[in-house]
Amino acid sequence: MESQQVSFRVAKDDLAHAVTWVARSLPNRVTQPVLRAIVITADDNGLEFAGFDYEVSTKVRISAEVIEPGRIAVAGKLIAEITNTLPNKPVEISLDGSKVELRCGSSRFELPQIPLDDYPQLPTLPEVTGSIDPQLFTRATTQVASAAGKDDTLPMLTGVNMEITGRRLRLVATDRFRLAVRNLEWKPVSESITAKLLIPAKTLLENARSVDPHLTDPVELAVGTGDEVGADGLFGVHAENRETTTRLLDAEFPNIQPLLPKVHNAIATVEIAPLQEAIRRVSLVTERNSQIRMRFTAEELTLSAGGSDAGHAEETLPCAFRGRDEMVIAFNPAYLKDGLSVIDTDRVVFGFVESSRPAILLPEPEELPEQTEDGTYATPDTDFLYLLMPVRLPG
Amino acid sequence: MESQQVSFRVAKDDLAHAVTWVARSLPNRVTQPVLRAIVITADDNGLEFAGFDYEVSTKVRISAEVIEPGRIAVAGKLIAEITNTLPNKPVEISLDGSKVELRCGSSRFELPQIPLDDYPQLPTLPEVTGSIDPQLFTRATTQVASAAGKDDTLPMLTGVNMEITGRRLRLVATDRFRLAVRNLEWKPVSESITAKLLIPAKTLLENARSVDPHLTDPVELAVGTGDEVGADGLFGVHAENRETTTRLLDAEFPNIQPLLPKVHNAIATVEIAPLQEAIRRVSLVTERNSQIRMRFTAEELTLSAGGSDAGHAEETLPCAFRGRDEMVIAFNPAYLKDGLSVIDTDRVVFGFVESSRPAILLPEPEELPEQTEDGTYATPDTDFLYLLMPVRLPG
């Protein structure tokens, strides 16, 4: 039974932020037209806007002057578009028969009401499992999600694997060509909590990106507590006035531990900004997804790309290289750029086993490891690691 | 016979501006690979960069330190991309066997030389016919080109018709749904010159947009003088260090004079900025290319769009309307927006005959015409006119 009278007045900017955010996670093409809806609930506490497509649910609360409480639904992307073009004046929304009327200044819109009879039950946020610094959540998610797969035929690789062990969180993603690992701390509600969750990378990244960069309150992550961890098959995020839930991927994430090299035969450090510039330039003569070659010597890194037919490019950069006289290795330039773009220090550390084996990229630690007696280097202890498969060198 | 030794040094920004500009008019897909080339000529006066696709030719001169004069050609879009990513250091380009070598800072590129044997003869600029203020040229072209057709099966409508009568220039374009006319003054080399030219709108607009907005020297237009006017079938523009030629369209532009209403039964003036905002909002509930309706009464303009099913929008705006009690007329919102966006005054003047006949849009003149004894209004004397076909009102 829906109320037949709904009426409220709300500040234009508050309305615009709320509907824009909910509309963004609504699907572009829907199998059920009702899923195009934003459901607006007006009650004594203000307004709640909600959207759901059976995978992702979003909910945001804002304050408003509610004249008649009730519940209505309208096409989400349309009301978001309309609201964003309105002048900065109070917006009045009310139900008028089967139409939703929106007034603002000299503008008046009549939008068809979407019947709520077929609208699915919105999932509720699982019990809050712990909280995390908002900027850290955004940054760590962005770092790892860059390595996740986009191929839906390999669903386990389209997720970010989150491993919770008390105060430690570990995020991992891989598309088989590169792998990103981020270790970080958070505040669990119980120190004894352990969980493994495979969260769709795309949604997690959207969650992280929609966190207000100036937010100071911690972000709450919710997968349940005690025996209820993961019981709903949902991952929930609560940041400020916003809540989202995402259905977990029902797949086994591969065991990545054996893939990580424990020791390196050579290590190099290079300043990231000029390296990115150089990669960008030499990539111009590569064919799509083709390789760029890196030749490390004691103090110089030479990048090269292209062949003799299509053009050839070469760049030299200073570097610090130890462990071998030289190392020649080739990478997919896009994957290399992805890795460099999520390392936060000024310089990157490369660790090499040999040209045909995966290399690691790390943020520069306080101290580089010393060469051990057998001539190798241990992996420096950093909170982020990007493993990158090389491509075969020509000839 | 091409020189086998070419070598020069040039400032990075000068090179980037020159090759970017020439590359922009090179075709994306070429039937003859040689047309991908930028031809670089190094001589005692510096460098000349040229491109040509049999329709449009471009040529730009810049100063440089020429060590060995000569002529080379390289892939235009590639050298433009490369140059735009280079650090801000001098660039050295030289011919090395069959390769063109480009060095800048620690970057080195080898680009295949494109053989010049098959390269077509570049057209020469016709004799300069007159000159025009650069900002006026850009503005007038932009105003008129918005109404030109994009349908290549109606080639005469894809052009801007330029009519020269001594000191007067008249630019006209139409796609049958709207028509734009701009009258302006220029400085012909001879007061007795007359000519009619049909210039491809797309190229003329590119010419106009590439004129440096801070340029103070007049732009020279070239179609020949005396008996030679139009003899080459080319339209040439010379602005600063740049020259372009465009092949004229070989088609008859329709006679537009009978289309222009001489008198109006009603006129209205409306402030443009709020009208554009209102159109933008009500358009959100229209289907693609559908209509928005305008109802003018003495002091109020009501815009509306949409039907009862898909949503409905209404906006009211102040206006000054004379000649009738009311006028209801409907337009394609995109064409209406195009017209409003090229009118330079704060308010637009609408002139109406009746709902089913084309309306005119004009910049607001110093004085509006008075109603004549037969109850009509003459067209105010303005330098720009936009004629817009109405769409049929529902029911």
Which of A280, A311, A315 is facing B112, going by the closest CB pair?
Answer: A311
- Residue A238 is assigned to a structural domain of this protein: yes
- DSSP state at residue A391: B
A78 has a chain B CB within 8 A of its CB: yes
- Residue A231 is assigned to a structural domain of this protein: yes
- Please tell me the predicted confidence (pLDDT) of residue B15: 98
Sites in chain A below the pLDDT cut of 70: 1-4, 288-289, 308, 395
- Please tell me the predicted confidence (pLDDT) of residue A308: 63
Which of B86, B108, B280 is facing A85, going by the closest CB pair?
Answer: B280
- Residue B393 is assigned to a structural domain of this protein: no
Same domain, B303 and B339: yes
Same domain, B162 and B137: yes
Nearest to B143 by CA among B168, B174, B180, B108: B180
Which of B82, B87, B284 is facing A284, going by the closest CB pair?
Answer: B82
Residue B316, amino acid: T
- Please tell me the predicted confidence (pLDDT) of residue B32: 84
- Residue B223 is assigned to a structural domain of this protein: yes
- Please tell me the predicted confidence (pLDDT) of residue A1: 43
For residue A176, give the CATH number of its domain.
3.10.150.10
Same domain, B98 and B189: no
- Please tell me the predicted confidence (pLDDT) of residue A3: 46
Maximum alpha-carbon separation in chain A: 83
- Residue B252 is assigned to a structural domain of this protein: no
A88 has a chain B CB within 8 A of its CB: no
Q: Which of A55, A77, A112 is the last residue of a domain?
A: A112
**What is the C-alpha separation between B330 and B292, in angstroms, rounded?**
5
- Residue B183 is assigned to a structural domain of this protein: yes
B107 has a chain A CB within 8 A of its CB: yes
- Residue A297 is assigned to a structural domain of this protein: yes
* Interaxial angle between packed helices B272-282 and A76-85, expressed in degrees from 0 to 180 and rounded to the nearest 10: 170
Beta carbons of A104 and A12 less than 8 angstroms apart:
yes
Same domain, B70 and B104: yes
Task: Say which residue the tokens 């896009």 belong to.
Answer: A334
Residues B78, A311: C-beta atoms closer than 8 Å? yes
Q: Which of B70, B87, B112 is the last residue of a domain?
A: B112
**What is the C-alpha separation between B361 and B353, in angstroms, rounded?**
12
Chain A residues inside the 8 Å CB shell of B310: 112
Same domain, B93 and B207: no
- Nearest residue in A to B100, CA atom: A311
Beta-bridge partner residues of B8: B66, B93
A299 has a chain B CB within 8 A of its CB: no
Q: Which of A112, A140, A166 is the last residue of a domain?
A: A112
Q: Residue B61 corresponds to which tokens in the numbers above?
A: 């001169």
- Please tell me the predicted confidence (pLDDT) of residue B288: 65
- Residue A119 is assigned to a structural domain of this protein: no
Same domain, B136 and B88: no
- pLDDT per residue, tens digit, chain B (395 aa), is 444 689 999 999 999 999 999 999 998 887 788 999 999 999 999 999 999 999 999 999 999 999 999 999 999 999 999 999 999 999 999 998 889 999 999 999 999 999 999 899 999 999 999 999 999 999 999 999 999 999 988 988 999 999 999 999 999 999 999 999 999 999 999 999 999 999 999 999 999 998 988 999 999 999 999 888 888 899 999 999 999 999 999 999 999 999 999 999 999 999 999 999 999 999 999 876 689 999 999 999 999 999 867 799 999 999 999 999 999 999 999 999 999 999 999 999 999 999 999 999 999 999 999 999 999 999 999 999 999 999 988 76
How many structural domains does chain B have? 3
- Nearest residue in B to A77, CA atom: B284
- Please tell me the predicted confidence (pLDDT) of residue B226: 86
Which residues lie closer than 8 Å to A84 by C-beta, 6 or more apart?
Answer: A16, A20
Chain A residues inside the 8 Å CB shell of B278: 106-107
Same domain, A272 and A376: yes
Cα distances (angstroms) measured from residue B326 to each of A256, A374, B159, B266, B320: 75, 94, 37, 9, 11
B85 has a chain A CB within 8 A of its CB: yes
Give residue A288's domain range.
Answer: 260-388
Q: Minimal Cα–Cα distance from A283 to chain B, Å?
A: 10
**What is the C-alpha separation between B95 and A245, in angstroms, rounded?**
62
- DSSP state at residue A284: G
**Nearest 5°: phi and psi at A188?**
-75, 155
Same domain, A13 and A93: yes
Nearest to B223 by CA among B200, B190, B202, B197: B197
**What is the C-alpha separation between A59 and A36, in angstroms, rounded?**
15
- Nearest residue in B to A85, CA atom: B281
Chain B residues inside the 8 Å CB shell of A102: none
Same domain, B231 and B277: no
Beta carbons of A337 and A276 less than 8 angstroms apart:
yes
Same domain, A169 and A277: no
Q: Residue A175 corresponds to which tokens in the numbers above?
A: 């598309």
Same domain, B241 and B285: no
Residues B81, A285: C-beta atoms closer than 8 Å? no
Same domain, A138 and A201: yes
Q: What is the rounded (10 degree) CA torsion for B352, B357, B360, B361?
A: 90
- Please tell me the predicted confidence (pLDDT) of residue A302: 98
Over residues A43-93, the pLDDT tens digits come to 999 999 999 999 999 999 999 999 999 999 999 999 999 999 999 999 999
Residues A78, B285: C-beta atoms closer than 8 Å? yes
A300 has a chain B CB within 8 A of its CB: no
